[in-house]
Structure 1
Amino acid sequence: MKKNILVVFTGGTIGSKSEAGTINTSADAGFALLQRYRQSHPDIAETVTFSSMQPFGILSENLHPSHWRSMVSAIEALDLASFAGIIVTHGTDTLAFSAAMLALYFNRLPIPLVLVSSDKPLADPRANGLDNFSCAVSYIRDIGTAGVFAAYRNPGGAMHLHLASRLASCLPLGSDFISAQSRPYATYSFDGFEFHHPLPARSPYALKPDFSKKLLVIRPYPGLNYRDFRLDGCDAVLHDLYHSGTACVSAEAGAQYNLIEFAAACRQRGIPLYLAPALYSDDAYASTRALLAAGAEMIWNMSLEAAYAKLMLALANFGSPQAISAFLSADVAWEHLS
């Protein structure tokens, strides 16, 4: 029996064309992907059928959480029992954020959902989009384990299947994606899938497709002046950290550069301050200890992208600080690392 796969087109480079030196989304580019797949994989194409939809078509740098709601609503409007799996085509710029959101929201999905992107428009012979799509189809057809994943081959590299909740944003000045800690879930080749680590148990949550509209995200850099930020109307602040789980806690150059002063300002206004990413350890830097003592809450053991998506969902789905903290602490979609 043929397996039916739902393909959700959302735009991005994989759904774009290059014309007169400008890359932009094209209404028919996504469907051309299916035609290219059938032509290049006629044997496999005979074993699957595709149903498709396009809730929106944008370049992913223009993504807004309202697009997430549209995507989720479009998928949930269908009878998912009729599909063996779902493929979501997506742009690379915000792929890691959407991957984390879909992994967390669809944590109870009984079929696999795989995100695919392309580093170049599909008409470019160097593009990896068709290979990424082929990996997704093969995973759904041949493996079928439930969960949310991302299929991507870096230029000149192996084809990897990533846990969507652990996918890091594309490395700058290139088109390479890696999993957090450089640990993809699987490698795919002509011999099939080679899995690199088991999937631990998850803590399922039923969620609404609602997202906070007032989450402020701050990235650290030398000389960051916290007094430049207005906190009016914020639900919470998520502060990115350096790779060792640290940020500036020194007032030597001025109190305005000290995150501890900013933490005090948040506390006075009743605005929670969250920190990520950081791996939990018995040993921590003095700066990390100082931030925790100042009342900041660490979102342990997950990437910034996963922490962002999880906090966006938590703030809109739960009404108490205790419920929010419990959700952040639970391993909902394999987002927790060790």
Structure 2
Amino acid sequence: MKQLLVVFTGGTIGSKKQGNGIDVNDAGSYSLIDDYINSAEQRDDVRIDAIQPLNLLSENMTTEDWIALAEAVHGIDTESYAGIVITHGSDTLAYSAAMIGYLFADTKIPIVLTASNYPVADERSNGRRNFANAIDFVVDAQLPGVFVVYEDDKGDALVYLATRVTQAMSFTDQFGSPYGVPYGKMADRVFNWLEHERNPRPEALITKPKASFAWEPATLKLDSSIVYIRPYPGLNYSLYDFTTIRPKAILHDLHHSGTASAIEAGPYSLPAFIANCKKLGIDVYICPIRDRSAALYSSSLRLIEAGAIVIEKLSVEAAITKLMLAYGLYDDKAQAKAFVTESVLYHEHNEV
């Protein structure tokens, strides 16, 4: 008999329809366990305990909530459990997964995040199946690490490494991954690893490296003074006035080819914006770039020449959470930069 711990945080998977809307409900989370126990997916070889450190819709998640979740997971006696399942809202699942992946990269047991597209009581919901597949993954794979399990629109229960899952799409509710490569999938309660040049082999996860950094819940800081900007034609940088309140860093997204506006001067010029931020002491990072050593467009090179710091091989979700962690850990900007661009914490570089 394997003992599992479920960590409820709210989200759609812990919500109920209330009037014309959907909201978290005190009974919603725990009713998921009852629903699972009374379903065909229920396993006879597991026992489930549960805690609920948070109860919110995930669009309302803050860095303080991440710290509360991290404190709860940190306090778990992992010798008593075969694995941990964290139920979460789908809206910010990719960000929370990356953060938990960084903080618990050296976990000795599987930590699996999952979510639901509709409240569990809705017949369209994949929540109970996602929950069941997360449990099956813990029992069958027995892989240490942090993962996401979520059923796609084809009915495949996909498994992702926590730092390699990207936000669900607005119109399809489908999660993704860089290069479209999940870590594997569940089928008939068995984990099937996807053999791919970018996926670490399962046995490589068993040999756990030492944690890249030390942290304690009482002193953990995650810095929310990070601004994220996404490019589009006509983006007017003069609307960003940081003379009064200044972020510590900016993450500027890029088009698929690793580019953004490289006009030399004027309100639409990203190089001019980067130069102005440098004068104000604000670090500007650009992401995603597949490989800095590969040939880049001249516009990309102009951004780098202007002072942009390249984060390569990371998804935006993995990059922004790593920045929040780095600038929370280090007051020295050089240390924060090295942490973001040089360290590999938990498979966030999309390569083996």
Pick the TM interval, shorter chain: over 0.9
1:324 is matched with which residue? Answer: 336
How do residues 243-262 of structure 1 correspond to structure 2 at under 5 angstroms? 243-251=256-264, 255-262=266-273
With normalisation by structure 2, the TM-score equals 0.91
Map of 1:241 onto structure 2: 254
State yes or no: 1:219 paired with 2:217: no
State the alpha-carbon separation in 2 of the partners of residues 118 and 42 from structure 1.
16
Judge conservation of contact 2:318–2:348 (CA < 8 Å) in 1.
Answer: yes
Matched with 2:5 is 6
Alignment-mate amino acid for residue 124 of structure 1: D
Deviation at residue 246 of structure 1 after TM alignment: 1.1
Deviation at 1:204, TM superposition (A): 3.2
TM-score (norm 1): 0.94
Query: 1:259-302 CA distances to partner (integer Å, 9 max, x unpaired)?
Result: 00001001111211111111114201111111111111011101
Unaligned runs of 5+ in 1: none
Indicate which of 59, 62, 79 corresponds to 2:60: 62
Paired residues in the alignment total 334
Q: 1:12 to 1:114 in 2, by over 3 A?
A: same
Q: Where does residue 213 of structure 2 map in the other structure? A: 206
TM-superposed deviation, 1:191: 6.2
Q: Which amino acid aligns with 1:83?
A: Y
Asked whether the 8 Å contact 2:97–2:162 carries over to 1, the reply is yes
Question: In the alignment, which residue of structure 1 is the partner of 2:29?
Answer: 30
2:47 is matched with which residue? 49
Displacement after TM superposition at 1:337 (Å)? 1.1
User: Which amino acid counterpart does residue 13 of structure 1 have in structure 2?
Assistant: T
Q: Name the structure 2 match of 1:290.
A: 302
Shift of 1:21: 2.5
1:228 matched to 2:242? The reply is no
* Residue of structure 2 in register with 1:266 after alignment: 277
CA positional deviation for 1:327: 1.9
Name the CA distance, whole Å, in 2 between partners of 1:290 and 1:311. Answer: 23
Q: Distance in 2 between matches of 1:48 and 1:295?
A: 54
Tell me, yes or no, if structure 1 residue 307 matches structure 2 residue 314: no
Equivalent positions of 1:86-105 (< 5 A) are: 86-105=84-103
Matched residue, 2:119: 121
Following superposition, the deviation at residue 41 of structure 1 comes to: 4.0
Aligned to 1:99, the other structure's residue is in SS state helix
1:123-162 maps to which residues of 2 (within 5 A)?
123-162=121-160
The root-mean-square deviation of aligned C-alpha atoms, in Å, is: 1.7
For the 8 Å contact 1:203–1:331, the answer to whether it is kept is no
